[in-house]
């Protein structure tokens, strides 16, 4: 196996994030292996969204470094990764096809027919064949998430970021979305980073994770979700993974 295949796709070293004089997270160190399904976990206010914004280049670190495939996150030019934002972030006045076509029209020189072909293939990939001309208001919440994933895949990224993909979905729709994410990870050979607090999704698709804690302003646990659930000595980690025990 080549060294390129063995090297992490994401490397974070001594990363400190915050706003003005307020430090949200400090001295984060972690890596994400190629092909992994990696999760950033934590409760409300733990800094998950702040870390995601830094990873995709929307926030400048106060200190430390982030390397995506060996380089800092891109802030100009076509991104080397796809992003599904929590709400789907589809443009309501545009059809699903037009939403997916945006990145292709902006960052490629493909003609209209080629773009249309790619758009149809991406929507088919996420189970939305036949919905090309629907507006976001005309489809369900789960379908909006699928359309958002199709748009994130438009430029064939090798890295996909998902911000709370199951948030607001019923259990059946959430499970179907988990299945789609797992299938795409394997079939496309991509690295997937998921920001979530949904235990059902964590145990269904995540292989490795870090857990953030707002009071500690950093990482309080890392490893495989089942191992953290069953073996962590940290009360905060046990409470996160075993909410029923905490309630009792």
Q: Are residues 122 and 42 in the same domain?
A: no
Read off the DSSP letter of residue 40. Answer: E
Question: Can you tell me the distance from the alpha carbon of 122 to that of 66, in angstroms, rounded to the nearest whole number?
Answer: 29
| Boundary-marking domain end, from 129, 156, 183 | 156
Q: Are residues 72 and 151 in the same domain?
A: no
Residue 80's pLDDT is 83
Q: Are residues 54 and 164 in the same domain?
A: yes
Q: How many domains does the chain have?
A: 2
Q: Is 186 domain-assigned?
A: yes
Q: Are residues 47 and 149 in the same domain?
A: no
What is the full DSSP assignment across 224-239?
-HHHHHHH---HHHHH
Q: In terms of pTM, does the model score above 0.85?
A: yes
Residue 89's pLDDT is 85
Q: What is the number of helices (H) and of strands (E) in the chain?
A: 10, 9
The domain in which residue 150 lies consists of 92-156
| CA angle in degrees (0–180, nearest 5) for 149-150-154 | 115
pLDDT of 92-143, one tens digit each? 999 999 999 999 999 999 999 999 999 999 999 999 999 999 999 999 999 9
Angle between helices 141-152 and 96-107 (to 10 degrees): 20
Query: Average pLDDT, stretch 23-31?
Result: 97
Q: Is 176 domain-assigned?
A: yes
Q: Is 231 domain-assigned?
A: yes
Q: Is 46 domain-assigned?
A: yes
CB 41 within 8 A of CB 202: yes
Q: Are residues 166 and 72 in the same domain?
A: yes
| Boundary-marking domain end, from 101, 125, 156 | 156
Query: Average pLDDT, stretch 5-15?
Result: 88
Residue 242's pLDDT is 85
pLDDT at 248 over 50: no
What's the half-sphere exposure (Cβ side, CA atoms, 13 Å) at 147? 31
Residue 43's pLDDT is 86
Q: Are residues 112 and 15 in the same domain?
A: no
Higher pLDDT, 137 or 89: 137
| Confidence tier at 245 by pLDDT (50, 70, 90) | low
Q: Is 87 domain-assigned?
A: no
User: 68-72, 131-135, 244-248 — which is least confidently predicted?
Assistant: 244-248
Place of tokens 């359309």: 147
Q: Are residues 73 and 163 in the same domain?
A: yes
Tokens of 146: 């699928």
| Boundary-marking domain end, from 138, 156, 174 | 156
CATH number at residue 42: 3.40.50.300
Q: Are residues 21 and 52 in the same domain?
A: yes
pLDDT at 160 over 50: yes
Q: Are residues 163 and 151 in the same domain?
A: no
Q: Is 120 domain-assigned?
A: yes
Residue 135's pLDDT is 97
Q: Are residues 235 and 195 in the same domain?
A: yes
Q: Is 206 domain-assigned?
A: yes
Question: Can you tell me the distance from the alpha carbon of 245 to that of 243, in angstroms, rounded to the nearest whole number?
Answer: 5
Q: Is 86 domain-assigned?
A: no
Query: Average pLDDT, stretch 158-175?
Result: 93
Q: Are residues 72 and 9 in the same domain?
A: yes
Q: Are residues 170 and 243 in the same domain?
A: yes
pLDDT at 31 over 90: yes
Q: CA 111 → CA 52, 78, 105, 107, distances in Å?
A: 33, 18, 9, 12
| Confidence tier at 246 by pLDDT (50, 70, 90) | low
Residue 44's pLDDT is 85
């Amino acid at each position: 196996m080549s060294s390129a295949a063995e090297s992490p796709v994401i490397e974070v070293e001594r990363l400190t994030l915050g706003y003005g004089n307020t430090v949200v997270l400090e001295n984060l160190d972690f890596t994400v292996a190629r092909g992994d399904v990696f999760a950033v976990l934590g409760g409300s206010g733990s800094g998950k969204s702040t870390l995601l914004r830094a990873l995709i280049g929307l926030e400048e670190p106060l200190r430390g470094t982030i390397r995506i495939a060996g380089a800092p996150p891109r802030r100009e030019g076509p991104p080397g990764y796809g992003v599904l934002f929590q709400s789907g972030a589809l443009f309501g006045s545009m059809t699903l096809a037009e939403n997916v076509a945006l990145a292709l029209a902006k960052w490629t020189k493909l003609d209209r027919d080629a773009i249309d072909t790619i758009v149809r293939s991406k929507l088919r990939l996420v189970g939305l064949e036949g919905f090309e001309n629907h507006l976001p208001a005309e489809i369900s919440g789960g379908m909006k998430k699928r359309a958002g994933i199709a748009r994130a895949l438009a430029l064939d990224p090798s890295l996909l970021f998902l911000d709370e993909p199951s948030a607001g979905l019923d259990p059946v729709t959430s499970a179907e979305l988990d299945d789609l994410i797992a299938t795409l990870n394997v079939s496309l050979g991509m690295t997937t980073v998921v920001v979530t607090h949904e235990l059902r999704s964590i145990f269904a698709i995540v292989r490795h994770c870090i857990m953030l804690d707002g009071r500690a302003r950093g990482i309080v646990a890392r490893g495989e979700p089942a191992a953290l659930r069953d073996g962590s000595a940290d009360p905060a980690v046990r409470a996160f993974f075993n909410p029923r025990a905490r309630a009792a």
